[in-house]
Structures are given as structure tokens and as C-alpha cells.
Structure 1
Amino acid sequence: MTLSPPESSPNPTATSPMAIAPVIVDRKDIDANIWIALLAAGVGTLGIYILLFPLRATYLGQLLFERGWTQPVAILFAIFVMAFTLLKALALLSQLASLRQGWVPMNFPLKSPTDASLAQLQHTLAQRRSLLPVRCARTLGAYMVGGSREAANEVVAEDSSAAAAASEASYTIPRVLVWAIPLLGFIGTVVGISQAVSGFSSFLQTAQEVDQIKEGIGGVTTGLAVAFDTTLVALILSVLVMIPLVIVERQESKLLLTIDGYINDYVLARLPMATPTASLTTSDLQETIQAVLREELPSPEALMEPAQATLEQLVNHLGRLAQALTSDRKQFLTTLEEQHHNQDQAFQQLLHEFQERSQVLVTELHRSQDDFSGHISNQTQALAQLLEQSSQTLQQRLELLASLNQALNALAETGSLQLVIHDLNQSLEQLQPVLKQLSQPRRVMLVEQNAE
């Protein structure tokens, strides 16, 4: 659905006196009265059953009167949905008629939000009952209050969302009823099948003749007829009411889109854009910042008072800290002196023990040295005696050799033993240096060597 630009303006003679302030206009929705639809459903259901009461013997009468309680409930729901759809269709027709009028003419100036003619137009549109003029009045009122197209655009977006949500919510109950009508048919089906099964089981227990069997089968078929007829009626009713409801809902959505397009094309597009504010100079910006600082920041006096209090607290805290440090230093020195004294005593005791052990060791060394020296002296004396004895023995042997030499010389004179004597003399000459060396006095030296 498209709209042509409006050319005629509404009659301003039927408006309130001229005023600058805009009129507060409430939102308006396309809604159908639920109570009227419910009343129409009750009256329609009662009228159908009264009119068809004489036709109870016909197939239609049997469908309505002999198929259980689900049939009148399904008819009540179907008539309610039809009445609601009819009321919605009538409301849409009235709204479609209002779209053909020019509520905001193209030759009407939409410049200043404080214009008296704009306020008069807004008052005139607010008195209408149709949705389009009310939406236009709310848009112009937002422009007059906000003074910019942006404010009016926000109101238009909110009204569009609210209208779509209200339209969607208004169809909630009819949709639930359209969904409930087939369910009622299925409930009737379950009830009919249950009756048929229970009747079939009961006549099988008591059936003895053919006539009784026929009567039992008739009861079973009656229950099955109830089951299938309730489903048939419910499905037919749901199809009959669902198609018109969908068509009306679709037309309402198109109507809302058309109204949104009209407001965007013929109202918002003609509103002037907000003029940008003049740029601030550097001096103005500095003055503004200084004024804000003077207003927001505290004075120097107000800053000095907490600073002095903070300084006094800091001095007190430092004094307590110095006292604590002095006390800790004294305690540390006392502890250090005690440790030094203890260490000195321990060192003196260790030194005393070392001296005692050193004296004991030296004494033992002297004692060992004296014992060793005495032993060495005894050994030396014994060795000297042994050497002296050896010297005497050698002397005696030398004397014996000398006497033997004399004897040999005497024998050599005899002439027979000259060669033997000559050889013996050579041997004695060779032995003479050794004997002389052995006969010389000797000196024995003792050297002390540390054991490894």
C-alpha cells in the first residue's frame, strides 16, 4: 500500500485556541474489544443451538446435539475468533479511510518548533481518533519539545515498536483458541473411542442371541461416530476461522508499515536538522575550565587544614617510629654485648683447656725424650764396650799374626816352605791395610729421626 503526498489541510476551525505548548497525546493501537467478541460468541452459540433444535433428527442436528460436550465448546471458540476477526477488520477499514486524508499538507511550513501554527496543527491532529493523525501529533509534539529532528525520530521509533508489539499481543487469545479447537476434536475422538471399546467389551460378556449382538455392535458404531464426527467438526471450524484471522493480521501489519512510511516520508523528512553549535574559542574554553576548577576544587585554606593535620600525624608517627628504633637499638646492643661476653668466656675457657693440654703433651714429650735418651746412652755404652772388646780381640790377633809371621820367617829360612811363605806374605800384605783400618779407634754418632 502506497500513499500519495497529501494536498489538503485539516480544518483548523474545530481546534482549541492557539497555544505554544504541545498537547500530550497517548499512544493509540488498533485493537478489538475482547468482551464484545466473547458476548457475540455466547449469543451466537446459543442462537445456533436454538435454531437447529427442530433439526435434531438430521445429520447436522446429530453432529451438534449427539456428539458430546466438545461440540458446543468448539463452536463457542470458533464464533469468538470470527467475532474478533470481524472487529479487527472493521477497525482496519476505518484506519484505511484515514490514510486517504492529508493530515500534514506539503505546503505547511515545518521550520521552527515554537511556531504557533505548528502548535495549532498538533492540537488538531491530537483530537482525531485514527492512528495516523495521533502518530503525527506525537511526532510533532516531540519535535516541539525537543527542538530537533532527532527527538522526533526517537519518538517515531518507539511508537513503531510499541504498535507492532501491541498488534502481536492482541492476536494471542485468538491464536490460542484456533490451536485449541482441533484439540477439542481430538478429545472428543478419545472419548468416543473409549465409549466404543467399553460398550464392545460389555456386550461380549452378555451377548447370547443375534439381536443382542446387533444392539452391541450398534453401540460400538455410535461411539466411533462420536469420535470421528467431533474431529471432523473441529477441523472444519479451525480452517474456517484461521484463514480470515491470518488475512486480517497480514493487513494490519501492512497498515502499520504504511503509517511508518508516511511519517518518515512526509513528516520527519520535512523537519529541519539541528544546527550545529558555534565552535568554542580557546579563551572561552580556558575561562570555562577555570570556572569549573574554582567551583569544583577546594580552596587553599581548605587544603592546608587537612595537610597540617596530616603533617602533625606524620610527625607523631615519625616520633613513635624513632622511639621504637631507639629501643630496638638499645636492645640490639645489649644482646650483642651479651653474646660478645659469652663468646669471650668461651674463648678463654677454650684457650685454658688448650694450654693445659699443651703442657701435658710437652711433659709427656720430655718424659719420652728422657727415656729415649737414657736408652740411647745405654745402647751407646754397650756398643762402646763391644767395640773396645773387638779392638782388644784385633790387637790380640795382630800380635798372633806377628808371632805367626816370625814363625813363618823362621820356617822360610828352612827353604822348603819359601814359596808358601811368599804367598802367605802376599796375602798378609793385602790384609794389612784392612787390619790397620780395623785397629784404628772409632766414634759412634747418634742421629734422631722423626717417625713418619
Structure 2
Amino acid sequence: MSFFKIPCPGCNKSLKVPESLAGKSRACPYCRATVRIPESVPEEPDPIFPGIQVAGAAGPAKSRSKPAASSPAASSIAPSMPAAPAAGPEPVSPSIRTAETPPAVRPSHEVHLRKPQKSWFSSSSDSASSDVSLLLSFLLGAGAAVLWYGLTFPIQHTLFGQLFWHRGPVPFPTTLLLFWAIAILVLKWLNLKKQKDAMLLDVLPTEISPEITVDSIDRFIEHINQLPGASSDTFLINRVVRGIEHFRVRKSAAETVTMMESQSAIDANNLAGSYTILKVFIWSLPILGFIGTVMGVSSAVASLATSLSDGGSMDAMKAALQDVFGGLGTAFDTTLLALIMSMLVKIPASALQKSEEDLITSVDEYCNENLLRRLNDGREGGAERGASGAAAGESDVFRQAVEQALGTHHAEMEQWLAKLDGIGSHLTDQVSQGWDKVNQRIEQQQEKHIKVLHEQQLDQQARLQAQLDQMANAADKIQQTLTSLTEQTVSLQSQVNETFSQTHTSLEEHLTGVQTGLASLSSVLQQLGDQQVVVQQVASDPPSRNGWFGKRSRAKGRR
């Protein structure tokens, strides 16, 4: 990746941008003004005078000769050049300033980098880091969770509101973890935006020195101290400063290359470690959902066991089963909510991690193009590497540096790989053992519930069988009673029939006698109709009174 310089239209500061940003807009890290990056790389005009830079030019002055520091003529001409407009049909409107010329001797004291200025959302780490403040993110997440529950309180009786209010205690911590993770992602996005803005800075301008030597390091650090304070806590500034300070101490380009590779690995590990808490949240959300499901299933089965132990009717059993299925639905809603929340955290976290990894790659490319290629430790040609025809020397130096770096880090990489393999296998075993324990507990719980249900079912069947036997005995008794009643009814019917037949016969006989008497009476009446009937009254003697107290009895008694 190659870089080119453009001036900021707002503050006229020089910005170094990669070619991949051509045609895009970015905010200036100095004045925050919007800078439109041209589609094509602008051509850098030749300087009007050696050692003199025109501020309004489209790009930085490109010297065709040796640096101004090595040219005494340039240093003598630059102070005496008047600030007058150039001759020609159009005067040069921008101000003319002399290029900074390095001093002939090193200063007696070393220039040190100022303390990095931390952002309000950054962690308390001393070096550049992708971590954010956990306390601040927790407060933001807790506030967002409280606000969310305040917004969903009026709709808590709807289907969506019940997922947060009427599904037990599990949705409350899952919602808190969700908003905590979102707060961390927002703060990391702000940090990433700051890091991307710092990538536009010209950290190692060629105007100071085309090459980075031990004598020019102090001037580069002075330039870095003048950069915006917000950019001091970035991967780019931290990487460049560590590289040039290591080069100032060790005075070896090869060792600096090795150190920069090590620093790149440190930044990559730091970036990966900043997502540890998010990975814990992504892992914790489904676990909380499963815990809510287990709690719901346990309560539902317990309610069913209580209903079965009471031995109620079928209506009571139906009501108990309805409660059980309702409890199961509530239990699985917690898992559904937790899985959705886990996806809402996982997807943006992966996208943000990919963007930060691309940022680390851009920092590596920037350091390779603008730092490592310009290092000059006086070996393998020294400063002559900057002249034309020194490409072969540069390739040899870089080849040797890469070989040395690979030789020193090969054993370390193998050790790290062995450690990572051990850690990965250990974590895999622990996770596998944990899931095995969870499965065993769930199976034991299910076996207990199945055993209780089986015993209760057998008890209920025995009770139902006893009731059925009692009902069968009662039915047999009723059948016997009905049979005896039928027999009695049949006998009574036969007796009634016989009585009716006898009565009919006697009535016929009596009626026949009556008919005969009536016929005799009719014949007598006919005979009497032809004769006279004389009725004569005859005096009759009083009846004699016999008995115990009559006269005859008394006379006999006297005898």
C-alpha cells in the first residue's frame, strides 16, 4: 500500500492518506473539517528553491538533491531568502517558509514523548489499547436497560412486553447484559473512529528528514508532540514512537524490525483480548436462557405432580395439563429471547473486530512504508540508501532483517503455539466436562420426574381400578335386583290374570242366575197379571220368649 500527501483545506496541515481512500471523505484530525480525498494521486510540484517549501502547494516539496541538512548551501540560502512574490504573470499567493533543517550536531538532551492523552471512554492502560472502561460501559448499559424497561412498561401485557416482564426473573439479567454489551460496542466504535482519524496524520514527514537516523529522532518526536492530543493514544502513534525510541537506544535497523514485528503481535493480542468480556457475554446470554428454561420446566412438572398427587377429576387434570404447557411455553420464551440477544451482540461484535483487525493491518503497512524503509543505522551504505541506485542495498538489508526476525521468533512462535494448543485443549475439555455435567444433571432430574410421574400414574390407575370394581359390583347387584323384580312382576301378572279369569267366571255365573231369576220373576208376574191377589191380615201369637231369662227357664229352675 502506498501513501500520498494532501493539504487540509481548513487548517492547511499536511495529511498522509493511503491510496485505498481515494475518492472518499474523511475528517481532518487537526481541525475536524471534512477533507475530500482526490480520485488520483496528485503530482508533487518541484520546489522553486532548494530547501524552501511553498505552503499552498498541492503536495509537499520533493527534493531532488540531498537533504537540506547535508547541504550547507541550502542552509545559507534559506535564512536570506526574502518573502517576496515570485516573478511571473501570476504572483504566488501562498506564504513561503523555509524547510526545517536539521542541526549539524545532536542536542545535549534527548526529547521525550509527552504523556498520552486518554479519551473519556478509554481504559486506564498506559499504552495504546482497544479496551474501553468497563465501569463506564456498565453504567451506560444499566441506564439503557432501565430506560428500556420504562419504555416497555406500558405494553407489558402485550406479547412483546410479556417477554421482558412476565417470563420470570431471567429476562432482567439478560437484558442488562445485552445493553452492557451494546455500550461496550458503542465505546469501541468511538475508539475505532479515533484510530481511523489518526491514520491520516503525517507522523513521520519527509520534510524533517528523508531518512530516520539517530540524529533526526528528536525532531520527529517534537513533531509527534505537536500532533492533536486525541491521537496520542492510538496504535499508530504508539507503534511509531516505540519503533524510533528502540532505534535510538539500540541503533540497529534489524533489531528495530524485529521489535516492530513483536509490537504488531502485541497489538493484535491486545485487540483480541479486548473482546474477551464480549465473548463472555455472548456465552452467558444463552446459558441464562437455558437456566430460565430449566426453571420453567421444573416448576411446570412440579405443578403437574401436585395435581396428580391430589387425585382430582378429569377436568382438574385437563386444567393442570394446560398450566404445564403454558409453563413450558414461558420457559422456552426465555431461551428464545436469550438467543436473539446473543445474535444481536455477536453480529456487530464480529463486524467491529474485523474493522479493528483491518486497522492493525493498516498500521503495519504504514510502519513498513514510512518507518522501516527509512531507517538508517549507518550500515550497508548508510545514508547513501536514500540516493538513486540503492534499491539493491535496501532489499539486502530488509532480507537480512527479516531473516534475523524469523530466526529469533521461530522458537517463540513454536512455544506460543504449544501453549495455545494446551490452553485450547484444556478449555475444550473443561467445556466438554461442564456440558457433560449439565446433561447428567438434566438427565437425573428428568429420571426423577419420570419416576415420580410413573408412580403417581400407577397409583392413579390403582384407584381408578378400585372405583371400577366397586361400580361393577354395584352393577351386578342392580342386575340381580332387576331380575328378581322381573320375576315378581311376571308372577303377579299371572296371579292377576287368574284372578281376573275367576272373577269373570263367577260374574258370568251370577249374571246367569240373575238372568234366570229375572226370567222366573217375569213369568210369575205374567201369571199374577191374570189372577187376583188377596191380601189378608192374620193375627199371630206373640212369640214365646225362651232363653236363659224366660218364664220357662225360671219354671224349670224352680223345679
TM (norm. structure 1) is 0.55
Aligned to 1:152: 256
User: Aligned equivalents of 2:305 and 2:212: distance in 1?
Assistant: 86
Mapped pair 1:93 → 2:193: yes
Superposed displacement of residue 235, structure 1 = 0.9
Q: Match of 2:283, as an amino acid? A: W
Q: Select 1:21's aligned residue among 110, 115, 118.
A: 110
Partner deviation per Cα, 1:224-273 (whole Å, 9 max, x = no partner): 11221011101111111100001111111111111011011111111114
2:379 — aligned with what?
275
CA apart distance, 1:156:
1.8
Q: Which residue in the other structure is 2:131 paired with? A: 31
Query: 1:54 corresponds to which letter in structure 2?
Result: P
Can you list the C-alpha shifts for 1:126-179, whole angstroms capped at 9, x where unaligned? 963333123222222222232232343243223212211211111111101101
CA contact (8 A) 2:213 2:377 kept: no
Unaligned runs of 5+ in 2: 8-13, 16-29, 31-98, 101-106, 116-125, 382-559
Task: Point out which structure has higher relative CO (alpha carbons under 8 A, 6+ apart).
Answer: 1
User: 1:260 is matched with which residue: 364, 378, 383?
Assistant: 364
> Between Structure 1 and Structure 2, which shows a larger proportion of helix residues?
1
Matches within 5 A, 1:41-440: 41-109=141-209, 110-115=211-216, 117-124=219-226, 128-206=232-310, 208-209=312-313, 211-275=315-379
Give the Å deviation of 1:42.
Answer: 1.4
Q: Which residue of 2 aligns with 1:348?
A: none
Could you report, residue by residue, the CA deviation over 1:161-202 in whole angstroms, capped at 9, with x for unpaired residues?
221121111111110110111111111111111111111121
Q: 2:3 is matched with which residue?
A: 4
Amino acid at match of 1:23: H
Fraction of identical pairs, as percent: 28
Deviations 1:90-116 (A, max 9, x none): 111111111122221234313531235
Name the larger-Rg structure: 1
Distance 2:339 2:174 in 1: 10
Deviation string 1:377-422 (CA, Å, 9 cap, x unpaired) is: xxxxxxxxxxxxxxxxxxxxxxxxxxxxxxxxxxxxxxxxxxxxxx
CA contact (8 A) 2:212 2:371 kept: no
Secondary structure, aligned partner of 1:55 = coil
Query: Separation in 1 of the partners of 2:224 and 2:163?
Result: 58
- Give the Cα separation in 2 of the matches to 1:208 and 1:148: 90
For 1:184 and 1:51, the matched residues in 2 are separated by 23
Question: In the alignment, residue 45 of structure 1 is paired with which amino acid?
Answer: A
Give the RMSD, CA atoms, in angstroms: 2.8
**In 2, Cα distance between equivalents of 1:145 and 1:83:** 41
Q: Counterparts of 2:108 and 2:266 in 1: how far apart (Å)?
A: 29
Counterpart Cα distance in 1 of 2:153 and 2:224: 57
2:110 alignment partner AA: A
For 1:55 and 1:276, how far apart are their aligned partners in 2? 76
How far off is 1:4 after superposition? 1.8
What secondary structure, in the 3-state scheme, does the structure 1 residue paired with 2:3 have? coil
Shift in alpha-carbon separation, 1:3–1:204, aligned structure 2, 3 A: farther
Number of matched pairs: 272
Q: In 1, Cα distance between the equivalents of 2:167 and 2:311?
A: 26
> Which letter does structure 2 place at the counterpart of 1:120?
E
Answer yes or no: is the 8 Å Cα contact 2:221–2:241 preserved in 1: no
Residue aligned with 1:5, SS: strand
Secondary structure of the equivalent of 2:330? helix
User: Contact 2:203–2:224 at 8 Å: present in 1 too?
Assistant: no
Separation in structure 1 between the aligned mates of residue 212 and residue 283 of structure 2, nearest angstrom: 52
Native 8 Å contact 2:297 2:328 kept in 1: yes
Find the aligned partners of 1:42 and 1:265 in 2 and give their Cα distance.
45
Query: Does structure 2 retain, via aligned residues, the 8 Å contact 1:5–1:266?
Result: no
